[in-house]
């Protein structure tokens, strides 16, 4: 089936080369991840789910609704890409969470790990605030990065293509797509 018969370019704005993960693939995997996270914590753990904006917003929203523990949600804004498909290597923190990290069971939620620059910069910063525990949950991992700390939960090992949809953007476009496609 050609991509154009599956995906309406009125919705995508431009032709994608292929669908990598369908909405159904994502739904199934996110539920499995939420179940694993539920099993990894106790109800009395003070869970703080910290989403990296903007890319994680849809993933985080779907994930937290299926975690069966009390938890709180906050966000970090770190920017490294600008409008390019290549990482600039620099990570700027544009918004810092109000919620205290100290003593909490922090789950850092990331849309995709590519070069690892973002994670390698953020983890020491968050560790410095003395969380009770700190784990990374990434929907996608390209498995090319040398990470100081590997994510505990990964949705999919992603192909080395530029992916968009389900929160991921190219120049701020495509975030709203319910599936993940390749440009």
End-to-end CA gap in the chain: 17
Contact at 8 Å (CB) between 97 and 74? yes
Q: Which of 114, 148, 157, 169 is catalytic?
A: 114
Helical residues (DSSP H) of the chain, grouped into ranges: 3-6, 9-12, 23-40, 57-64, 117-127
**Beta-carbon-side half-sphere exposure of residue 98 (alpha carbons within 13 Å):** 2
Q: Work out the widest C-alpha separation in the chain, in whole angstroms.
A: 51
35 is catalytic: no
For Mg ion, the closer CB: 39 or 94: 94
**Total of chain residues touching ligand IMP, rule CB under 6 A:** 19
55 binding Mg ion? (CB under 5 A): yes
Fill in the per-residue mask, 7 to 36: x = in contact with ligand IMP (CB under 6 A), - = not in contact: ------------------------------
- Tokens representing residue 20 in the block: 């990598």
**In terms of CB distance, is 23 or 77 closer to ligand IMP?**
77
Measuring CA to CA, how many Å separate 139 from each of 4, 5, 9, 35? Answer: 26, 27, 25, 14
Site size toward Mg ion, by CB under 5 A: 1
From 14-22, 34-42, 106-114, 149-157, span contacting ligand IMP (CB under 6 A): 106-114
Which of 62, 110 has the CB closer to ligand IMP? 110
Closer Cβ to Mg ion, 55 or 165, answer by number? 55
From candidates 16, 47, 50, 55, binder to ligand IMP by CB under 6 A:
55
Burial class of residue 29, CB neighbours in 10 A (0-12, 13-18, 19+): middle
CA distance 155 to 179: 14
Binding site for ligand IMP (CB under 6 A): 52, 55, 80-81, 87, 110-118, 145, 162-164, 168
Q: Which residues does the annotation mark as catalytic?
A: 114
Binding site for Mg ion (CB under 5 A): 55
């Amino acid at each position: 089936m050609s991509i154009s018969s599956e995906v309406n370019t009125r919705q995508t704005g431009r032709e994608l080369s292929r669908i990598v993960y369908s909405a159904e693939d994502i739904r199934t995997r996110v539920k499995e991840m939420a179940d694993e996270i539920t099993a990894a914590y106790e109800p009395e753990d003070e869970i703080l789910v910290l989403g990296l904006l903007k890319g994680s917003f849809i993933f985080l929203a779907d994930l937290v609704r299926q975690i069966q523990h009390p938890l709180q949600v906050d966000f970090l804004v770190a920017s490294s890409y600008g409008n390019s498909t290549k990482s600039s290597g620099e990570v700027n923190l544009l918004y810092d969470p109000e919620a205290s990290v100290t003593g909490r069971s922090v789950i850092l939620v990331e849309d995709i790990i590519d070069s690892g620059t973002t994670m390698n910069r953020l983890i020491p910063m968050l560790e410095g605030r003395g969380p009770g525990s700190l784990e990374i949950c990434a929907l996608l991992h390209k498995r090319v990065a040398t990470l100081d700390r590997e994510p505990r939960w990964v949705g999919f090992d992603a192909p080395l293509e530029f992916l968009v949809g389900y929160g991921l953007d190219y120049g701020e476009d495509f975030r709203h797509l319910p599936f993940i496609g390749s440009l």
